[in-house]
Amino acid sequence: MSIRPILKWPDARLTQNCAPVAEITPDLRVLVEDMLDTMYDAPGRGLAAPQIGVMLRVFVMDPTAKEAGRNPVVCINPEIISLGAVVAEGPEGCLSIPGVSAQVSRPTTIRMGWTDLEGVQHAQDLTGFAAICAQHEMDHLNGMVTFDRIDADQRTALQAQYEAA
């Protein structure tokens, strides 16, 4: 397949809500393969379709790739079913905002539903980094970036750092 260019903030497409996927087509399969190639090349652990300019509710992630080898998850029309009560703050980077790491607060557990590339429905509890990664990618599908999850002072400082780079 191919590696696609990753959109960089402040590209307006990163602020748009994505449309649901109507059906699994050969074009969608190519998109997913390209997304995986792009994510691993970046190198990243997650990539949402809008980050490569495709405004569909699709993301790929591989939260354990750096520790345990490749085990990608393809999420089509994902939804967060529930959020855990425990919230933690931790560093988050984003392929669309390279060189910036923000301290973001998120629930450490979620229950997420999605369809895979074979059309199989899944519902799974995610914890730790997998939960954080999935929430980050869901934000992209909803037109949000890391800057939208931090307080005004941190945002101002990180935007200045990003723009100076």
E strand or H helix at 110, and its extent? strand 109-115
Spell out the long-range contacts of 154-157 with Cβ–Cβ below 8 A and sequence spacing 24 or more. 154/102, 154/103
Catalytic pick from 33, 67, 79, 137?
137
Q: Where are the alpha helices (DSSP H) in the chain?
A: 26-41, 65-68, 128-141, 152-164
Let me know if 137 is a catalytic residue.
yes
Residues marked active site are found at 137
